[in-house]
A = this chain, B = another copy of it.
Amino acid sequence: MTTVLKLGGSVITDKDRAETVDGESLERAAAAIADAVSDSTETDGGLVVVHGGGSFGHPAADAHGVTTTAGTDDAGAVTEIHAAMTALNGFVRRALLERGVEALPVYPLSLAARNREGDLALPTESVETMLEEGFVPVVQGDMVTHAGRGATVVSGDELVAELARGLDADRVGLCSTVPGVLDDERVVDRIDSLADVESVLGGSESTDVTGGMRGKVETLLGLETPASIFGLEGLEGFLAGEDVGTTVG
């Protein structure tokens, strides 16, 4: 049972203060992961943690005008955005290491690249060997080099999708700031197609640079792997194999 878990950038950082971790939420997420890994019935095929940018990656990316499609040739700018994400990656890994989770960093800038069409090549040898050896890879949203455009942003959501495919994962979970996809205040249990929830998700105006809820649902619908969207209160249940939040696809 290989699980790919994304911790949303908004969940583990304070989105209103630049480069500030939401310590309480990060501790809570790390504790749930540590419990699941030490119990290991649900995660014995390995757990990959992916995290977004929150108040670390986004301000730096905005300052340099880079997105998933608008690139830069300036290595100083790439380095600055990458370093902001690496700092957050360090906080996530430290919280996990302190709880006995053998977390190792994975930086997509070193690993992945986009071709001219923007498709991501993400070789999985390193992550697979980490999993086989009992480590927990912690993969960050990052910059990647992009044929013809210098370097562009790669979002946590995109990494989740590529890793789920590349590792043939059994489960995908997106831990978000909301308890699932919401219809008014009620969590939608299950989404099988985008048409089902068009009215709930709204149009493209609700997407941000690295994909809002609509983008997440679209990405997850494109996967073979069953996926869930849930809030921090659902993380423990998800890692225990329960259906939590909204199940997609």
Contacts and interface: CB of A to CB of B under 8 A. Distances in A.
Contact of A75 (B79, B102, B107): B102
Interface in A142-165: 144-151
A135 B126 contact: no
Given A113-B126, A123-B123, A123-B125, 20 more contacts: A73-B133, A75-B93, A75-B136, A76-B97, A78-B104, A79-B105, A104-B109, A104-B145, A106-B110, A107-B110, A110-B111, A111-B111, A114-B129, A129-B144, A129-B145, A133-B147, A133-B149, A133-B150, A135-B145, A135-B151
B126 A145 contact: yes
7 contacts: A79-B105, A104-B145, A105-B109, A107-B107, A110-B111, A112-B126, A129-B144
A241 to B, nearest CB: 25
Nearest to A96: B75
B97 A113 contact: no
Contact of A97 (B79, B112, B128, B148): B79
A32 interface: no
A110 B102 contact: no
A109 B126 contact: yes
A159 to B, nearest CB: 12
A121 interface: yes
A132 interface: yes
A142 to B, nearest CB: 10
